[in-house]
């Protein structure tokens, strides 16, 4: 049987320090002083643990620590880790640099431009980090590599002197939210296969991302740019896209609106507030006649118990793209699908756009030539 463990004989200054600890307001110092005094009175660790309601090993640890540190043991030390291991050491920083020199599409992503969140996600998937780190960790790692981010804003103001009196858009949005109608922003865009967008990217000092000037072969059967209709649903945030074989005209616009009504009706909505600009193929006689006849048909069918979608159009003031929330989607989309040194085919371009916005490719809208 092992002999009981006791604290060594206390010197007079140690005895006084431990007794002073019994009057301490710090529970940490008080408990350790009680353990040492009880041990000096030849109480065994098991008895001390039973009296103080603590573990026997705690008493043994206290006696061992006092042997090593003396009275300094009575003061609580910092609980901060003695060493802090960085998620990205020098080797992992270089691995991160090599990773960011590749396209995100290499890792199955739907964009060609890196973001901090995307870099954190791919770093975890590729085993650079044990868990997915925060974007701040990625930012600090890039800062150590000499990589920075700069961005400029472009701003435009409406020249329309009556702009502030045109509150129809806000009034319709408020009305739609009140009655549970569908709110959407509609616009058209041309996706160029040749033009490269203005963008910023993570790059090392003095080595910016180089966007190669692209040119089409004269035998290329695909068009130089693809026209596309889009509708952004405010309720779900989902994008509805239809590419056009041709260019936006009134007839294609009404075909798109007819298809949009089918999508809205599938969601169980009966009224669509459509916010768009005053392009010529939006305000033409053909489109306005179609809207009037469509709404009349929906109201007539509603009396017979049939369901349809009524459209309430809202044309925005001239040169006020910031009022149409789909406009920034086009800008970010063009930056996301960019290929720095390769000319995309028409099919690849359509697929990249649909992958980025998370929607399925629908049949092409066809411009009918009379």
Tell me whether residue 25 is exposed, middle or buried, using C-beta atoms within 10 angstroms of its C-beta: 0 to 12, 13 to 18, 19 or more.
exposed
Q: pTM value?
A: 0.61
Number of H helices, E strands in the chain: 13, 8
pLDDT the model gives residue 80: 63
Six-digit token string for 126: 């590729």
pLDDT in tens, 191-203: 999 998 888 888 8
pLDDT the model gives residue 370: 64
Q: Give the C-alpha separation, 327 to 101, whole Å.
A: 29
Quickly tell me which residue has 């739609």 as its tokens: 176
Q: Hey, which residues does 158 pair with through a beta bridge?
A: none
Go through the chain and tell me how many residues it has: 370
pLDDT the model gives residue 281: 93
pLDDT less than 70: residues of the chain = 1-4, 78-86, 149-166, 370
Q: What is the CATH number of domain 163-366?
A: 3.30.420.10
Cβ contact 347:309 at 8 Å: no
pLDDT the model gives residue 254: 95
pLDDT in tens, 271-313: 999 999 989 999 999 999 999 999 999 999 999 989 999 999 9
User: What residue ranges in the chain does DSSP mark as E strands?
Assistant: 147-148, 182-192, 203-204, 225-233, 239-245, 271-276, 310-315, 365-366
pLDDT the model gives residue 355: 94
Cβ contact 32:62 at 8 Å: yes
Instruction: Give residues with Cβ within 8 angstroms of 6, minimum separation 6.
Output: 39, 40, 42, 44, 63
Question: C-alpha dihedral over 252, 253, 258, 264, to 10 degrees?
Answer: 130
């Amino acid at each position: 049987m092992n002999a009981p463990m006791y604290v060594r004989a206390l010197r007079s200054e140690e005895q006084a320090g431990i007794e002073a600890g019994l009057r301490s307001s710090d529970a940490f110092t008080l408990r350790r002083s009680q353990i040492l005094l009880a041990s000096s009175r030849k109480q065994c660790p098991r008895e001390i643990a039973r009296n103080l309601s603590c573990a026997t090993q705690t008493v043994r640890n206290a006696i061992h620590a006092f042997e090593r540190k003396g009275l300094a043991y009575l003061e609580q030390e910092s609980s901060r880790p003695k060493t802090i291991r960085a998620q990205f050491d020098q080797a992992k920083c270089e691995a991160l640099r090599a990773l960011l020199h590749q396209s995100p599409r290499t890792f199955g992503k739907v964009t060609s431009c890196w973001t901090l969140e995307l870099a954190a996600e791919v770093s975890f998937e590729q085993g650079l980090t044990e868990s997915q780190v925060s974007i701040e960790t990625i930012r600090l790692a890039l800062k150590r590599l000499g990589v920075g981010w700069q961005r400029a804003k472009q701003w435009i103001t409406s020249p329309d002197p009556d702009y502030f009196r045109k509150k129809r858009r806000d009034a319709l949005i408020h009305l739609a939210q009140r009655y549970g109608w569908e709110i959407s922003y509609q616009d058209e865009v041309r996706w160029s296969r040749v033009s490269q967008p203005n963008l910023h990217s993570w790059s090392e000092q003095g080595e910016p991302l180089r966007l190669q000037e692209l040119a089409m072969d004269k035998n290329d059967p695909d068009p130089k740019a693809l026209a596309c209709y889009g509708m952004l649903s405010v309720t779900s945030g989902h994008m509805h896209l239809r590419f056009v074989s041709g260019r936006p005209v009134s007839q294609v616009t009404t075909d798109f609106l007819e298809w949009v009504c089918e999508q809205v009706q599938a969601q169980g909505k009966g009224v669509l507030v459509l916010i768009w600009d005053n392009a010529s193929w939006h305000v033409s006689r053909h489109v306005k006649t179609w809207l009037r006849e469509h709404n009349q048909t929906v109201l007539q069918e509603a009396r017979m118990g049939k369901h349809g979608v009524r459209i309430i159009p809202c044309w925005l003031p001239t040169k006020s793209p910031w009022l149409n929330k789909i406009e920034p989607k086009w800008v970010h989309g063009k930056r996301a699908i960019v290929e720095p040194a390769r000319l995309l085919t028409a099919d690849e371009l359509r697929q990249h756009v649909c992958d980025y916005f998370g929607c399925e490719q629908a049949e092409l809208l066809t411009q009918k030539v009379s």
